[in-house]
Amino acid sequence: MSILQPLGKGDSDRVRRELSVLYEVSNAMRTTLKLDQIFYMILTALTSHEGLGFNRAMLFLVNEKEKFLEGKMGIGPHSGEEADRIWKGIEDEKLSLEDLLNSYDKFKRDPESKLNILVKGIKIPLSEEMGILALTILEGMPFEVSTDKAKEKVSPAIKNALSTDYFVTVPLKSKDKTLGAILVDNIFTKKPIAKSDIRILTMFANHAGLAIENSRLYEETEHLSRTDWLTELWNSGELQKTLARELEKSRIGDKKLSILMMDVDNFKPYNDSLGHQKGDEAIKTIASILSRKSRGDDFVARYGGEEFTIVMPNTSKKIAETIAERLRKEIQDIFASHTLPKGVPHLTMSIGISTFPYDGGDKDNLIHKADIALYEAKRAGKNRVCSYNASLGKGFLGLKKKR
Domain boundary among 168, 200, 224: 224
Distance CA 63, CA 381 (A): 47
Residue 242 shares a structural domain with residue 313: yes
Q: Residue 399: inside a domain, yes or no?
A: no
Contact 174, 205 (CB under 8 A): no
- In this structure, the answer to whether residues 165 and 259 fall within a common structural domain is no
Same domain? For 135 and 273 the reply is no
Please tell me the predicted confidence (pLDDT) of residue 196: 84
Question: Buried b / exposed e across 326-358, counting CB within 10 Å, b at 16+?
Answer: ebbebbeebbeeeebeeeeebbbbbbbbbbbee
Q: What span, in angstroms and rounded, lies between the C-alpha atoms of 394 and 372?
A: 10
The verdict on 160 and 264 lying in the same domain is no
Asked whether residue 18 falls in the same domain as residue 161, the answer is: yes
Quote the pLDDT of residue 17: 63
Instruction: Choose the final residue of a domain: 224, 252, 270.
Output: 224
If asked whether residues 218 and 240 sit together in one domain, one would say no
Q: Are residues 385 and 304 both part of a single domain? A: yes
CB 137 within 8 A of CB 80: no
Say whether both 100 and 197 belong to one domain. Answer: yes
Handedness of CA 329, 333, 334, 339 (dihedral sign): positive
How far, in Å, CA of 62 to CA of 47, rounded? Answer: 23
> Looking at the structure, do residues 101 and 247 belong to the same domain, yes or no?
no
Same domain, 57 and 193: yes
Residues 6+ apart with CB under 8 A from 57: 42, 43, 46, 47, 74, 75, 76, 182, 183, 184
Q: Following DSSP, what letter does each residue of 244-283 receive, concatenated? A: HHHHHHHHHHT--EEEEEEEEETHHHHHHHH-HHHHHHHH
Say whether pTM exceeds 0.85. no
- Supply the pLDDT for residue 2: 33
Domain encompassing residue 289:
236-394
Residue 17 lies inside a defined structural domain of this protein: yes
Asked if 148 and 30 count as a contact pair (C-beta separation under 8 A), the reply is no
pLDDT truncated to tens, each residue of the chain (403 aa)?
333 334 344 456 666 666 666 666 666 666 666 788 888 888 888 888 766 789 999 999 998 888 889 999 998 887 777 766 766 666 666 666 677 667 666 766 666 678 888 899 889 888 888 888 889 999 989 998 887 787 778 888 788 888 887 889 999 998 778 999 999 999 888 888 888 888 888 888 888 888 888 888 888 888 888 999 999 999 999 999 999 999 999 999 999 999 999 999 999 999 999 999 999 999 999 999 999 999 989 999 999 899 999 999 999 999 999 999 999 999 999 999 888 898 899 999 999 999 999 998 899 999 999 999 999 999 999 999 999 998 886 655 444 444 4
Q: Count how many domains the chain has.
A: 2
Distance, in Å, from the CA atom of 63 to the CA atom of 44, rounded to the nearest integer, reads: 23
218 plus 246 within the same structural domain: no
Return the DSSP state at 63.
Answer: E
DSSP secondary structure of 295-339: -TT-EEEEEETTEEEEEEET--HHHHHHHHHHHHHHHHHHHHTS-
Residues 109 and 53 in one domain: yes
Tell me, yes or no, whether 2 lies in a domain: no
CATH number of the domain at 272, please: 3.30.70.270
Phi, psi of 28 (to 5 degrees): -65, -40
Q: Is 144 a member of any domain?
A: yes
Instruction: Give the residue from 224, 249, 273 where a domain finishes.
Output: 224
